[in-house]
Each structure stands twice: as structure tokens, then as C-alpha cells.
Amino acid sequence: MTVSTLTESRGEVFSITENTTVHETARAVAVCNDQGKVIGVVSQSDISDKVVAENKCPDWVRASEIMSTRLIAVSPQKTLEECLDLLEQYGIYHLLVVAENGAYQGMISIQDLLKIIALQSKARADSLEDYIVGRR
């Protein structure tokens, strides 16, 4: 299974501009410049560590002030196992999905990947159980 299998099932791709206030940012989201190029990511930990913990007003803080700029991106052709390896290697929870032409296609989380892996493992276990007890 590849990243594109996961991202193509989503209806919308969310991103914000770097001038969007933190108040308008509700979840982990990509920050794009005026040309649509991803320049950062704002996560829940960015908001809690850089706004809430410092008692700043979310209406006054721009995404560009708190966004993470160390970006790890994958192509839609990457396998889910490769994505898990990257998440572990860099100690992050989200990966940007960017096409070869640089177009932002979405974001996947470790939670997305673990759900799919768990479902695949359950299906495999059910199949083995059916074989063992002769339901096949």
C-alpha cells in the first residue's frame, strides 16, 4: 500500500497561509506561501508550546511565528512502511505529501498509518484463523 492510497480517499486537503492567525488554526496543517509551496507546518504542539505555554493571544500570533520549518515530505508513491521508518527516524508525528511537481497533496499522521496496519494485521489473522478451523 502506498501513500497515494491513503491521501486519495480524503475529500479535502487543508492548508493555511503564513499570515493566518493561530486562532484560525485548529489542527496540524501545512503552511503555504502565496505560490502554494509548503514552507512550514503548524501542529498542536507548536500551538501549546509556543502560544499557550507562553500565554500569548492566538488572535495576535501568525502561523509564520510558530510554524516548524524542518519539513519531512514524502511522495505519493512511498510505501506506508517507508513512512513509518521516517516518522521513527525523525521523531515526528506527521509527514507532508508532496507530488514530484512540488504540489502539496496533504498530510498523513502516525495515527493514520497505525490504523491501516492494525486493520491489515487483523484481516491477516482472521484469514489464518479461517484456514486453521476449516472455514475456508
Can you give the CATH number for the domain in which 51 is found?
3.10.580.10
Per-residue pLDDT, 13: 73
pTM score > 0.85 for this model?
no
Other beta carbons within 10 Å of 65: 15
**Type of residue at 122:** K
Q: Where are the beta strands (DSSP E) in the chain?
A: 15-17, 29-32, 38-42, 73-74, 94-98, 104-109
Per-residue pLDDT, 123: 74
Per-residue pLDDT, 86: 95
Per-residue pLDDT, 118: 85
Q: Please give the residue range of the domain that contains residue 28.
A: 3-109
134 found inside a domain: no
What nine digits make up the cell of 127? 484469514
Mean pLDDT, 10 residues at a time, the chain of 136 residues: 74 79 76 87 89 90 91 93 94 90 88 85 77 73
120 found inside a domain: no
Q: Count of domains in the chain? A: 1
